[in-house]
Structure formats: structure tokens, C-alpha cells
Amino acid sequence: MDWQLFGLSFVTVFLAEIGDKSQLAAIALGGSSKSPVAVFFGSVTALILTSLLGVLAGGAFAQFLPTQLLKGLAAIGFATLAVRLLWYPAQDQD
């Protein structure tokens, strides 16, 4: 196993997940539930499944597209999201 890649993946996903909507949903469910352990295991299972799907999709794309192109597409996607958030902030739905 490539431990450096393992560590990088862990830190990246851990930091990306702090404070996101899924964590806030888990906090709300855990606080209002009589079984926070069930909420924990449900949340963990969901994160594992979505990560597995992402890794499988990335592996499938890597079979057909060069690494540089995948990195470029990811960069364009993130830049597009950033620009959209800067120029078109979420409107309050009062």
C-alpha cells in the first residue's frame, strides 16, 4: 500500500468534509435521534459508498483519458464553481 497516498487522501477528504452539508445533516440527525450510533454508522456507510463510487468512476475515466486531461477538466470544473459562487451568490429564500 502507498501510505503517502493513503495519508494524502485521508487529509484531503477529512478537510473537505468538515462543515459540509452532510456533516451538518449528521449533527442534526444525531442530536434529534434516540440512537446516535445508528446515525454514525449510516453516515460512515454513506461516505464509504460515495467515496467508492468516486474512486471507481475516476479509475474508469483514467482508462480512457490521459491524466493531464483529467486534471485539466477537474481544474476547469472547480474554477467554474468558484466563479459561479463569486458572481452568483445564493439568494435568500425568505
Q: What's the pLDDT score for residue 90? A: 64
Segments of the chain scoring below 50 in pLDDT = 94
CA distances from 87 to 26, 43, 64, 93, 94 (A): 30, 33, 34, 18, 21
Amino acid at 5: L
Give the three-state DSSP class for 35: coil
Its pTM stands at 0.64
- Dihedrals φ, ψ of 18, to 5°? -65, 120
